[in-house]
Structure 1
Amino acid sequence: MNKLISIPQEAFDWYDDYAHGKMDRRTFMKKLGGLAALGYSMTFLTSALLPNYAFAEQVSFNDPAIRASYLSFASPEGHGTGRGYFVQPATAEELLPVVLVVHENRGLNPYIKDVARRLAKAGYVAFAPDALHSLGGYPGNDDEGRAMQSSLDRDKIQHDFVAAAHFLKKHPLSSGQLGAVGFCFGGYMVNYLAAVEPDLLAAGVPFYGTPAHESLRHQIKAPLMIHLAEHDSRVNATWPDYEKALTAHGVVYQMHMYEGTQHGFHNDSTQRYDKANAELAWQRTLAFFHEKLASHQP
């Protein structure tokens, strides 16, 4: 899936509304069905818009360069106990910078696990918590995962990710330099982590995420690299006010807007994936983490 299939922009917009709880599945499918008059089949449209995680493995789970496991952590203000996917370089002989990986609004799916493996392959210790752990974990499909996550108390989810960030930062393999990268809901969580505890992150990379509440934005200290998609009206509408706040409070930030892309363009499991821009954003992310984390170890 190197290029977007030529389907109407409104279909991507409907999917975004559906994926973020603004449209139910029945309405979404009905609207897609209305495109049949333009010559699109439902099979074609659903395969283009809905994820296929067979495509989302750039680093194998049994790659000899990494070691993966699952770790639990205490989250007394959240759901009591959290759990996540922990990946480290196989031959780590010194303390390493650590990166928290935050999933979308549907739990720890295979794409997010692969992102964690990519980071470990690049020399970081990565940890990807599952917000759905208290409900049994990611159920294996996004529809159920999305419904499960929306049923949880949002404040408790936020506390879980704060607890996960502290757990990772203090891990025996950690150099104490903590970064965070997240996608969609995860992008929001990166912005939130940077704002809620100013000294928690050393660097944050939100992909198409909304900002933390305006009452928290003045607390941000961590440098941010913000990735936005051109065709993402919901998230992009929040950027002007966020930019003003970051500028007003002296936050070091970069914002990259990727021409022609859709919300979710980094996710290689759907036709929203834009290979060239996803790879560019990822290389920028790794360079940013290297500058802010790896080169500032104590």
Structure 2
Amino acid sequence: MSVTTRWIEIDAGGGERYDGYLALPRAGKGPGVIIVQEIFGVNAHIRSVAEQFALAGYVALAPDLFWREERRVELGYEGADRDKALALLKRIDADRSAADFGAAAATLRALPETSGKIAAVGFCFGGQVAYLMAAHGSVDAAVAYYGGGIQNKLDKADQVRVPMLFHYAEHDSSIPQTAVAQVKARLAGHAGVQFFDYPGVAHGFNCSDRAAYDQHASALAHGRTLSFLSSVL
């Protein structure tokens, strides 16, 4: 195999620990990337995303977002699984999740395999968590794919002092263009912040397991993300 994977424990503080899926590059070492899941758990898709970044030379860690409610959740994208994901989302707090993932970032930094800086790459609700991690200063850079709810956390914008990349879908039923405009207006003057819009695609365009998947947009966004990370890490 060109990458190796394993589950590790993350120290959340206060004697609490939770799990994260770790993917190591072939070289065995590299900069770190926290993969912040969608609301569907560290499922097969998110594990493949971690492995994709490991193939690109990063030490990738996908922590368990819902561990305080239910550990190792793995859900699909339709029907009862989607309903459960939305129910779990209502039970968590984005700022607390960002603090938990800050602990994951500290764990990743401390691993002997991690060399250099680390970034957060988040999807959907995970995009909001990645943004908050940037605001909390727990990572050296962040990427948000169609990050939901960021427009409601713009009071944290002045705390973002690290490079950030935002990917937005034109036809996102979860994130109206008015919300995108709010985020752009609030962060436009920040050095190192970039925005990319993807015309004709919907929320979730990066996930090949979802009906919204768009190969062209996914490949384009991934290439831009790798270019961004290589320049800032």
Q: TM class, shorter-chain normalised? A: 0.7 to 0.9
Q: Which residue of 2 aligns with 1:50?
A: none
Q: Which residue of 1 aligns with 2:63?
A: 129
Native 8 Å contact 1:193 1:201 kept in 2: yes
Q: Which residue of 2 aligns with 1:8?
A: none
Matches within 5 A, 1:175-254: 175-197=115-137, 200-209=138-147, 210-211=149-150, 213-232=153-172, 234-235=174-175, 236-248=177-189, 250-254=190-194
> What secondary structure is seen at the aligned counterpart in 1 of 2:169?
strand
Q: Which residue of 2 aligns with 1:97?
A: 31
Answer yes or no: is 1:261 the counterpart of 2:223.
no
Native 8 Å contact 1:113 1:128 kept in 2: yes
Native 8 Å contact 2:45 2:209 kept in 1: yes
Q: Partners in 1 of 2:93 and 2:182 — Cα distance?
A: 27
List structure 1 segments (4+ residues) > 6 angstroms apart after TM superposition.
Answer: none
| Higher RCO structure, 1 or 2 (CA under 8 Å, sep 6+) | 1
> What is the CA deviation profile of residues 73-104 of structure 1, one whole-angstrom value per residue up to 9, with x for unaligned ones?
11126x92121100001332xx4100000011
Structure 2 residue corresponding to 1:138, chosen from 63, 73, 79: 73
Q: Which moves more between the two structures, 138-147 or 108-117?
A: 138-147
Answer yes or no: is 1:81 the counterpart of 2:17.
yes
AA partner of residue 141 (structure 2): A
AA partner of residue 72 (structure 2): G
Q: Which residue of 2 aligns with 1:72?
A: 9
Q: Partners in 2 of 1:252 and 1:240 — Cα distance?
A: 18
Flag the structure with higher strand content: 2
Deviation, 1:161, is 1.2
Deviation, 1:238, is 2.0
Q: Partners in 2 of 1:267 and 1:247 — Cα distance?
A: 27
Deviation, 1:240, is 2.2
AA partner of residue 26 (structure 2): A
Structure with larger Rg: 1
Q: Partners in 1 of 2:113 and 2:198 — Cα distance?
A: 35
Deviation, 1:233, is 5.1
Deviation, 1:226, is 0.8
Q: Partners in 2 of 1:179 and 1:153 — Cα distance?
A: 21
Structure 1 segments unaligned to the other structure (5+ residues): 1-63, 294-298
Answer yes or no: is 1:272 the counterpart of 2:212.
yes
Native 8 Å contact 1:106 1:148 kept in 2: no
Identical positions, percent: 32
RMSD over aligned CA atoms reads 2.0
Native 8 Å contact 1:99 1:181 kept in 2: yes
AA partner of residue 53 (structure 2): L
> What is the CA deviation profile of residues 45-64 of structure 1, one whole-angstrom value per residue up to 9, with x for unaligned ones?
xxxxxxxxxxxxxxxxxxx0
| Alignment coverage as a number of residue pairs | 224
AA partner of residue 179 (structure 2): T
> If the length of structure 2 is used for normalisation, what is the TM-score?
0.88
Native 8 Å contact 1:207 1:228 kept in 2: yes
Answer yes or no: is 1:113 the counterpart of 2:47.
yes
> What secondary structure is seen at the aligned counterpart in 2 of 1:229?
strand
> If the length of structure 1 is used for normalisation, what is the TM-score?
0.70
> What is the CA deviation profile of residues 95-118 of structure 1, one whole-angstrom value per residue up to 9, with x for unaligned ones?
410000001123211111100000
